[in-house]
Each structure stands twice: as C-alpha cells, then as structure tokens.
Amino acid sequence: MKARTCWNAVCTVEDLVPESGIAVWTEDGPVAVFYLPHRLPALFAISHTDPFSGANVLARGITGDLKGEPVVASPLYKQHFNLITGVCLEDDSVRVKTYAVLLDGNRIVLETADKQREAVAA
Amino acid sequence: MSKKTLIVIGNGMVGHHFLEQFVASPEAAEYEILVFGEEKQLAYDRVHLSEYFTGSTHADLAMGTADWYTGQGIKLQLNEPVTALERDQRMVTTPKGNYGYDELVLATGSFPFVPPIEGREHPHCFVYRTLDDLDAIRASAQDGKSGVVVGGGLLGLEAANALRSLGLQAHVVEFAPRLMPVQLDTDGGALLRHKIEELGVQVHTEKATTDIVEGENARLRMNFNDGSHLETDLIVFSAGIRPQDALARASGLEVGERGGIVVNDQCTTSDPHIHAIGECALWDQRIFGLVAPGYTMARTLASVLNSDRNAAFTGADMSTKLKLLGVDVGSIGDAHGQTPGARNIRFNDEQAGHYRRMVISADGKTLLGAILVGDNSHYDTLLQYALNGIALPSNPETLILPEGQGGAPTLGPDALPETASICSCHNVTKGDICGVIDAGCSDLAGVKAETKASTGCGGCTALLKNVVDNELEKRGVAVSKDLCEHFPYSRQDLFHLVKVNGIRTFRTLISQHGKGQGCDICKPVVGSILATCWNEHILATDHVPLQDTNDTFMANMQKNGTYSIVPRIPGGEITPDKLIVLGEVAKEYDLYTKITGGQRVDLFGATLSELPEIWEKLIAAGFETGHAYGKSLRTVKSCVGSTWCRYGVQDSVGMAIHLENRYKGLRAPHKVKMAVSGCTRECAEAQSKDFGVIATENGWNLYVCGNGGMRPRHADLFATDLSDEELIRTIDRVVMFYVRTADRLQRTSVWMENLEGGLDYLKKVILEDSLGICAELEEHMNGIADTYQCEWKTAVEDPEKRKRFREFVNLPEQKDPVQQWTTERGQRRPVLESA
Ligand SMILES: Cc1cc2nc3c(=O)[nH]c(=O)nc-3n(C[C@H](O)[C@H](O)[C@H](O)COP(=O)(O)OP(=O)(O)OC[C@H]3O[C@@H](n4cnc5c(N)ncnc54)[C@H](O)[C@@H]3O)c2cc1C
Ligand code: SF4
Ligand code: SF4
Ligand code: FES
C-alpha cells in the first residue's frame, strides 16, 4: 500500500538560487531543493543529508549533469547523486530519498509523508 | 565426409568463451558442435551476478544470444543436464537421450559447498551462484527482516551486500578469526571488518554453526559451538566452492584428492578425448576460482584442438581487486609473505581507513605480493611490479605511502616490458596493444575493440588507458586532455578562450564552447578562471553555482557540515587588541580555536547562519577574509627578521605583509603559499613554499615551486639579490604565468616539472622575457591587486547575498539536528554518529 502523503509549501521562488540548491525543513527532516533553470522540469528535491557523512549538506553541493542526468556532488566527499532517482553514481547501493516537488504560483510545494495521518491510520 | 562431433558440457562463462574462441578457428569446420547446459538460461556473466538485484536482467548479463549460437551452427540444449558419461562408447546421456562425441569438453564449473550442518535443508536456506538462487533469495527476503551469510570470504561479503540491498539487516558469520582469510592478513581483515560494520553489516568471527532450528522471533535460529545463537529470517551459505566433477568421477577419470578433474598443460584429462576447463579443472593440484584463468584455459584448449603444439596452460595469477560493500580490497601474489626471507612494509592509517602491505623479496629487489584495504589506487602499479618482476625503486615504501598531489604513484607505462600483461581477462600484453596501434588503431575505443582488453572484469581500465595514451603520444597522436565531458579543452585552453573572447559567465562559455550543463569538475575551474580574468565578487549571482561550497560560503566546511573561519593575519603579525577580538568572538559563538601552521588562528564550528554575524564582528575590528577556503594565496609566513632578531639582515615581516596584501584574493589553479626569512638561517622555512624569499646582505633571494605536504619538494633558487621592486615584479610574472598555464589542481611544483624545459625554461620566460609576455603578465597582476575587495565585507553588506546563509530557508530558527557537541580539553568539538 502506498503511504499517504501530503503537499506542503516550503518556500517561494525568490528563495531559490539558479543552478544551485537551498535547504528547507520539513516534517520528514531536512530536504534540499535544487533549481536548474536550463532543464525541464527545473525543480528537484532530495534529502539534504549526505549518506556518507551523515551531515546535512547536500543542498550546498555543486550541481550539473553527467551523461545528461542531473546530479549534485556532495560537498564533503564529492560523491554524485542523481537528482531524479537519488542513486549515488559512485556506489549504486547507496541512494538518498527523493521528493516530488512542484511550482504552485509563487510557492514551491513538496510531497512528504503525512506523519499525522499515518499515525491515525495505524 | 561426415563431420566429427564436439560436445561441450556446461554453458557457463568459460564454456561460452571456449566456443567463441573455437568457432573462430580453422578446425571448427570439421565439427558439429553440441552444447548442454543445466541452467535454463544461456551463459551469463556470473562475475556480475549481484547486479541482478540492482536492476540488471538476464539479457543484460548474457554473454551471447541464441541467434549467435544458431548463426555459428552450434546446437545449444539448455535446461538439459548431462547425467552420465560412457567413455568406452564415447557417449553422454541426458534425460532426453544419448549423444555420441569424438571430443568432449567438460566446462561444468563448480558448486557452492554447504557445510553439513543439521537443518541446512530448511526452505529459507540458500546458496549464491545462479540466477535461480537469486530469484529464490529475493522471494524469501520479501517478508523477512534479517539475513545471515555463512562465510566471510569474497563471495560471502558480496552476498551480504546483496542482502543489504534487499533491505535486510545483514550478518556475516565466519569460522576463521578474520574476514577474507585467504586474501587478507590480520590487520587488513580487522580494518575491513571495521568498515563493513560501519555500513551496518554485523560481523561474527570465530563462530562455528552447530545446527539450525526454528526461531522464536525470526524464522530461523542458528546455534553456535560457543553456546551463543543468532536469529534470522534467511541464511545464505557461502562457505567456498567445490569443483563440479561428478560426471568425471563416475566415469573413472582421474580426479584430485579434494576434487577437481585432473588436466595437463593442454587442458586434457586422463582420457585423451576428454578435456576440462574452468573451475572444474584441477591443474598442478590447483583449482582456479576466478574467471580470467578459466578464459586462459579456454583459449589454450581451442589452440590444442587446432593441433597447436605450443599451446599450454601455465598457471595464472590469482591477484584480485574488488569493491566489497563499497570498500576497496586488493590482494596480489604472495600476500601472506610465505616466500622464505620475504620482508614486509606496512602502512596502516586507522584514521583514514587505509591499510597497505607490500611483501618484498629477501634481496629487496622485487615485489612478491601485496594487500590493500580501503583504497585500491595503488593496485595497478603494484600488480605490474609483482607480475613483471620489475626492479623496485630504492625507497619502495613510496609506492604505498599516501599520495601528495597528482594521485597515487604510478609506474610509467614506459617502464613496463612488452610482455607485461595489461588485461589478464583477455590475456592482452603491452606488446599486443603496441601491435594493434601500429596496425592503425588510433584511439582507446579502437584498441578495446581489437584486443577486447578491459571488456572482462574491467579491473584494467585505468592501466589500459595509460598505456594506450602513452603509446599514441609516442607516435605523435594527440591524446585528449579534455577537462571533463562538458568541455573538450584543457584548463589552459579555457583560460585562453575566456580571456581572448572576453567571456564573463559560465553559461556563455559552455553554450559557445562546451555542451551540457557542467559538473563539479568544470564549474569550479571556470569559476576560478573568471575570477582571475575579471576579478568580480565570487558571490555575484552568475558565479555562485560555480563554486565549491567552501568558496560559496567563504569558509571551510568540516566533517559535520559546520564551517571554520580563518581571518587574514598578514605575515602573522597581530596587535593584542585584535587578538582579544578573536578570543571574544570565539567565546561568544563557542568556536573551537586552534593556531594554524600558517601563523594564523582557525575558529571551528560555526553554523552557516552564524557566518555573516561572526564576520560582521570581525570586519568591524579590522579583519579581512583569509581565503583559507579558496584556491588562492593562503599565507605569507615570516620570521621576526631584522627588527628583533640579532642575525636578521632585512625586515622579513614587512616584506611578508607587503606580499600578502599584494597577492591576497588572487584565484589560482591550486592554493599558493609563500614565506619570507630574514637571513639565511631560514627560520620561516621559505624553501618549502611555492614562493620562498630569503634575505641577503644585498636584497632578496627568490626560490620557487616548493611545497610541504605529503610529497615535500624543496623550492629551486630562481633569482638572487633582488631589490624590493625586482622581487615583486618577478613574483608577479611567475604567479600570473602559473595561473594562466597550469592545469586544474596543479601545484606550482608539478606545474614547473611538467613545463617542457623545466626550471631553465621558466627562467627564460620570466627573467629574459623569451615569450614577450612579461609586460602583459605584470599588467594583469596590477589589475587584480587594484580591484581587490574583501569578499566577506561585500557579502555582509549585501542583504541579497546574506540570504544564502540561511540554514533552512523556511525555518530560520531551526538548528541542524545532526550537529551535536561534546567538550574536550576545555573546548567544544563535534560528535557525529557514523551514518
Ligand atoms: C557471486 C559471484 C561473484 C563472482 N565474482 C568474481 C569476480 O569478481 N572475479 C572473478 O574472476 N570471478 C568471480 N566469480 C567466479 C566466476 O564467476 C567463475 O570463476 C566463473 O563463472 C567460472 O566459469 P565456469 O564456466 O568454469 O563455471 P560456471 O560459470 O559455473 O559454468 C558452469 C556451468 O555448467 C553447468 N553444468 C554443471 N554440470 C552440468 C552438467 N552435468 N550438465 C550440464 N551443465 C552442467 C552449470 O549449471 C553452469 O551453468 C564470481 C562468482 C560468483 C558466484
Ligand atoms: S631567519 Fe634569520 S632573521 Fe629570521 S628569525 Fe631566523 S635567524 Fe632571525
Ligand atoms: S588537516 Fe590536513 S593533515 Fe590534518 S587531517 Fe585534515 S587533511 Fe589531514
Ligand atoms: S583484467 Fe579483467 S578486463 Fe582486463
């Protein structure tokens, strides 16, 4: 069964930095939102936590593409993560969580697990 | 004339490779070929079996196609095991019928050994060898939570990783006191264990399982001989392999005491019409559990069947290099140093998690074996030394010491003999590679297609590229120095393009001269080039996404995601008042404080959002950024010089401050360090810097291109008795020439060594202006010095730029929850749970 999710506004377009990432705090913990204006879709969201160091830093990595796939390089140990799948290019057994992200008017909305409703359902 | 019949039993990796070789030979025309496979799938790449769990299908792993077999006229009967062999009648039997042969090839591989433990037949007990095994494991894992692998060898660890990828808590139970007992020694095994446990796999050594019973909290419970037990939902046995020699044994062929079909150098068994290759064959009392030796046997046999009298299998190297759960492990030759008189050199960095051991012959001249854990970058070079008996350098330890700049030491491809094996999977030597290049191959892809090198396990990829590049270069073919997949240019080319075409943004450069969106290699390089050329603020919107995090946030990221701050203290001279400000700020923000080697103060542990506040205070007290985060001038260290020291002949502090203020902020391919000593006693250690200045009675001596670090290099004397102006002018020229022509991440030392003509050439360019560019270099440097701005000052004054320093843009008060602290020696330091 698919877990219930909900959409949350996390920031506005003005908060984004083109070609780079910012971090937001969500019910699911820290999430990195990237804005790559030269791609379609241009928004990506993955966990902000670098699985190799445990530190919350992925939004601060350098973005780009490798073989056409959008990626961010961890600023600590430089592994690349695919922004669409979350899979680490250097070690495909490692993968960070990805989130659906949309532009709603001026607001950036993220799909995260709905903890409250899950709790009620349980 | 009717054709003879050749039957191959077993359609695995080696059987398939044999067919590929044989059908290409003249003798193939004489035979009908018939192949029986027990598995229902066509031969597939067992080496990469685990990829079946991460998305690969049988089609991805398959070694050939049914069409290929048909096209070659080979009859392939899968899912049809041979059950009996009648040697007298030259006939084999399957459930479907009897088939006669003239020549028979046994390529039956091996089967996993399952120790005779009571309960091992439980439906949730598995082995790890075939696609069917993996399907069964996957099904069992679906509603399980944990899994145990029995056996901590190479395959066991691979299986443990697979269990982990299926979402299970994985355990490894090993009988021996360490992991990978065959390949590793005690220290190497311990380090591997530590790393694997860090990844969440639990390792239990020195445990013998006595029986397997129903579990209480999980499906199964394993009882151990020491009275302990472990509960688990499934078990995978990976306790070694045994050669599949059942048919041979039953038909009276000679087999080894501990299994294996005995073959001679021609891969022929005790029956002249029966041959055995791959993991089922026993040669010189040895079984080869790797694919490369199996392939060599396959090639040998194909030649033997073509009546090649010289064809012989002469053994194979069992060195291995692999990544287990993301951890590099390598084992070469006599890894345990069993050769009489062998001596060891060990390097063990527990901090970084690197262990390397070299086993050296008694006379110290050759490498017998090696063990690597944590970092395989030294493997290729060591393997070449060991395989080819190349004489070791006089200081062999440098082969395993950590690298300085420029990567692990490599054996230049020129040092390899023609007979050096480059790709052991496909038996390609350096001579073979030179051969195809001479026959017209002009790039790596061509060499790969011709020789098949690096199309097996892939372990030789880097070495092959090295050899091919070197050979092409020797023949005058241009070799790609492309920066990355986005730019077909070197750093120097890009510098030129930017400068000549007046390009001011990354976007313009990549759309006109590159492709794609860029990456973490090219973006910082271009960022640094743009900064050198136009000296705009690094936080200008267009430049932000180009920078490494340290440059973006103008501080050095530490392991827990916080930053350290290093204000500039030119020449190491600081007033007591400023020192007090540093102390006050550090106290207010609880920053760990340490004096650096460059005569300044490093403040650790600031969060992203604290950075601008802290800098506001520092700037108010007159501090400037120290660029400790940038590839740029770090410090100019100085001794106290003639003002205080009774030996001093010049004011070294004054000169150091002058130099530091002139070159601060200059963006370069790598960091640049300088120092000034007040007399020849050299208290400032100037000769270990990129630019070292030593006072003389008559002025200054300039030394260039030295560095400290892992591979220290003494700077070279460049010019003597310079006046203040001459000194500055000379440094201006060298610095700018370096910035313009060096490669990415090349320190001045490596840059100079790579200049054709080296030091003498550099002297001609700088001191005699042989290229006629000195005026331009000086002008460029003057321009940079004139437009200097303290990046932090600009940043804190601009609200837009300050916005970048919010930790979470939607919750400014939210503190990063992973940053937890403890106190040590009276100061705060991070605790970071290992992920
Ligand atoms: C998970 C895993 C990882 C590995 N990793 C590496 C590695 O990194 N590097 C490396 O060099 N090696 C590795 N190996 C070992 C490598 O796969 C073997 O060395 C290689 O497959 C041996 O080839 P083979 O043809 O001799 O045997 P196999 O590939 O096992 O083929 C034998 C075939 O014969 C069939 N057969 C047996 N008996 C009969 C019969 N009576 N009738 C019909 N068919 C029969 C079997 O079903 C099987 O399909 C790995 C093995 C595994 C399982
Ligand atoms: S280098 Fe010379 S001037 Fe400087 S401190 Fe040493 S002795 Fe004194
Ligand atoms: S500061 Fe330098 S030497 Fe020290 S641990 Fe870090 S990288 Fe190594
Ligand atoms: S050594 Fe395996 S592909 Fe070359």
What distance in Å separates the CA atoms of residue A51 and residue A33, rounded to the nearest whole number? 17
On chain B, the residues whose CB falls within 8 A of the CB of A17 are 541, 544-545, 804
Q: Is the CB of B678 under 6 A from ligand 4?
A: no
Average pLDDT over residues B129-144: 94
Instruction: Output the pLDDT for position B478.
Output: 64
| Chain B residue with the nearest C-alpha to that of A49 | B818
Say how many Å lie between the CA of residue B75 and the centre of ligand 1: 21
* Chain B residues lying within 8 Å of A54, measured CB to CB: 818, 832-835
Would the pLDDT of B421 be above 50? yes
- Which of helix, strand or coil describes residue B710? coil
| 735-764 in chain B: CB under 8 A from chain A | none
Contacts of B393 (CB under 8 A, 6+ apart): B399
B423 lines ligand 4 (CB under 6 A): yes
Q: Are the C-beta atoms of residues B281 and B267 closer than 8 Å to each other?
A: yes
Residue B438: pLDDT band with limits 50, 70, 90: confident
State the Cα–Cα distance between residues B309 and B578, nearest whole angstrom. Answer: 85
What is the average pLDDT across B475-496?
78
| pLDDT tens string B373-389 | 888 888 888 888 888 88
Number of the ligand closest to the Cα of B349 = 3
Tell me: pLDDT of B328 over 90: no
For residues A79 and A63, give the distance between their C-alpha atoms in angstroms, rounded to a whole number. 12
Q: What are phi and psi of B185, to 5 degrees?
A: -100, -175
Number of the ligand 4 atom closest to the C-alpha atom of B461? 4
Atom of ligand 4 nearest to the CA of B455: 3
Determine the Cα–Cα distance for residues B575 and A6; give it in Å rounded to an integer. Answer: 57
Contact list, B832 vs chain A (CB under 8 Å): 53-55
Q: Rounded to the nearest 5°, which phi and psi values hold at B510?
A: -70, -35
What is the pLDDT at residue B407?
A: 41
A93:B808 CB<8 A: no
Place of tokens 């020291």: B645
**Span B703-756, pLDDT tens digits:** 999 988 767 889 999 999 999 999 999 999 999 999 988 887 788 988 887 777
Does position B114 have pLDDT exceeding 60, yes or no?
A: yes
Query: What is the spatial distance between Cα B73 and Cα B33, in angstroms, rounded to a whole number?
Result: 7
CB contact under 8 A, A57 and B810: no
Q: Residue B391 gets which letter from DSSP?
A: P
For B515-563, what is each residue's pLDDT tens digit? 888 988 889 889 888 887 887 666 566 666 777 778 888 899 988 889 9
Q: CB-based contacts of B363: which residues, under 8 Å, 6+ apart?
A: none
Q: Does the C-beta of B185 come closer than 6 Å to ligand 1?
A: no
Q: Cα dist. B238→B203, B212, B813 in Å?
A: 14, 16, 52
Beta bridge partners, B85, equal B92
Write down the pLDDT at residue A9: 84
A17 and B CB contact within 8 Å:
yes
Number of the ligand closest to the Cα of B463: 4
Q: What is the pTM of this model?
A: 0.52
Q: Is B165 on the interface with A (CB under 8 A)?
A: yes
User: Which DSSP helix (H) or strand (E) runs through B793?
Assistant: helix B791-796
Can you give the pLDDT at residue B412? 67
User: Ligand 4 pocket, B424 CB below 6 A?
Assistant: yes
Inter-chain touch B832–A64, beta carbons under 8 Å: no
Say whether residue B199 is in contact with chain A using an 8 A CB cutoff. no
Is residue B226 within 8 angstroms of chain A, CB to CB? Answer: no
B442 pLDDT exceeds 90? Answer: no
What's the pLDDT tens digit per position in B333-352? 888 888 888 888 888 888 88
B702 with B715: CB under 8 angstroms? Answer: no
Contact A78 B524 (CB under 8 A): no
Cβ of residue B249 lying under 6 Å from some atom of ligand 2: no
Tell me the CA–centroid distance for residue B33 and ligand 3, in Å.
62
> In percent, how much of chain B has pLDDT > 70?
96
Q: What's the whole-number mean pLDDT along residues B180-204?
A: 88
Nearest to B808 among A17, A25, A78 (CB): A25
Q: What is the rounded distance in angstroms from the CA atom of residue A81 to the CA atom of residue A83?
A: 6
- Helices B461-474, B379-388: axis angle to 10 degrees equals 70
Residue-wise pLDDT tens digits, A34-54: 999 888 788 999 999 999 888
The atom of ligand 2 lying closest to the CA of B682 is 1
**In angstroms, rounded to a whole number, what is the distance separating the alpha carbons of residues B584 and B754?**
47
Query: b/e per residue, A32-69, with b = 16+ CB within 10 A?
Result: bbbbbeeeeeebbbbbbbbbbbbbbbbbbbbbbbbeee
Give, using CA atoms, the residue closest to atom 4 of ligand 2: B678
- Of the two residues B800 and A65, the one the predictor is more confident about is A65
Choose from A16, A19, A49, A74 for mutation: most chain B CBs within 10 A. A19
Candidate from A25, A64, A94 with C-beta closest to B814:
A25
Mark yes or no for CB contact B811/A25 under 8 Å: yes
In this prediction, residue B539 carries a pLDDT of 59
Q: Tens digits of per-residue pLDDT, B209-230?
A: 999 999 999 999 999 999 999 9
Please indicate whether, in this complex, the C-beta atoms of B560 and A55 are within 8 angstroms of each other. Answer: yes
CB neighbourhood size of B340 (10 A): 7
| Lowest pLDDT segment from B143-157, B203-217, B302-316, B480-494 | B480-494
Chain B residues within 8 A of A71 when measuring between CB atoms:
519
Determine how many CB atoms are found less than 10 A away from the CB of residue B362: 12
Could you tell me the residue ranges of all domains in chain A?
5-109
B559 and chain A in contact, CB less than 8 A: yes
Q: According to the model, what pLDDT value does residue A105 have?
A: 82
| Contact in structure between B185 and B273 (CB atoms under 8 Å) | no
Q: What are the pLDDT digits (tens) for A68-95?
A: 899 999 998 888 999 999 999 888 889 9
Chosen for mutation from A58, A85, A93 (greatest number of chain B CBs closer than 10 Å) is A93
Residues A81, B834: Cα–Cα separation, whole Å: 20
- In whole angstroms, give the CA distance from residue B210 to residue B150: 12
Nearest CA in chain A to B326: A91
Q: Which residue's C-alpha comes closest to atom 2 of ligand 1?
A: B47
**How many percent of chain B have pLDDT more than 90?**
51
Type of residue found at B226: D
Q: According to the model, what pLDDT value does residue B567 have?
A: 95
Output the CA B692–ligand 3 centroid distance in Å.
23
Q: Is B831 in the A-facing interface, judged by CB distances under 8 Å?
A: no
**Residue B91: pLDDT band with limits 50, 70, 90:** very high
| Residue B834 pLDDT | 45
Mean pLDDT, rounded, for B666-689: 93
* Ligand nearest to C-alpha B94: 1
For chain B, domains (ranges, CATH) are 4-110+243-305 (3.50.50.60), 114-239 (3.50.50.60), 317-411 (3.30.390.30), 417-476 (1.10.10.1100), 491-547 (no CATH)
The span from the CA of A22 to the CA of A45, in Å, is: 10
Three-class secondary structure assignment of B147-213: EEEECCCHHHHHHHHHHHHCCCEEEEECCCCCCCCCCCCHHHHHHHHHHHHHCCCEEECCCCEEEEE
Across-strand partners of B224? B209
Compute the C-alpha angle B828/B832/B834, nearest 5°.
160
Contacts of A50 in chain B (CB under 8 A): 561
Return the closest-CA partner of residue B631 out of B666, B605, B660.
Answer: B666
**In this complex, do A56 and B818 lie within 8 Å of one another by their Cβ atoms?**
yes
Q: Report residue B669: phi and psi, to 5°.
A: -65, -25
Question: How would you class A95 by CB atoms within 10 Å of its CB: exposed for 0-12, middle for 13-18, buried for 19 or more?
Answer: middle
Q: What are the pLDDT digits (tens) for B619-664?
A: 999 999 999 988 889 999 999 999 999 999 999 999 999 999 999 9
Q: What value does the mean pLDDT of chain B take?
A: 89
Question: Measured between alpha carbons, how far is B234 from B148 in angstroms, rounded to an integer?
Answer: 6
Check B810 against A25: CB less than 8 A apart: yes
Q: How confident is the model at residue A3 (pLDDT cuts 50, 70, 90)?
A: low
Asked whether the beta carbons of B835 and B326 are under 8 A apart, the reply is no
For residue B367 and ligand 4, the question of a CB distance below 6 A is answered with: no
Mean pLDDT of the region B564-577 = 95
In this structure, CATH architecture of domain A5-109: 3-layer Sandwich (2.102)
Q: Ligand 1, atom 45: nearest CA belongs to which residue? A: B10
Distance A5 CA to ligand 1 centre (A): 46
Query: Does B417 or B762 have the greater pLDDT score?
Result: B762
Query: Nearest Cα to B603, choosing from B565, B554, B553?
Result: B565
Q: What number is the ipTM of this complex?
A: 0.86
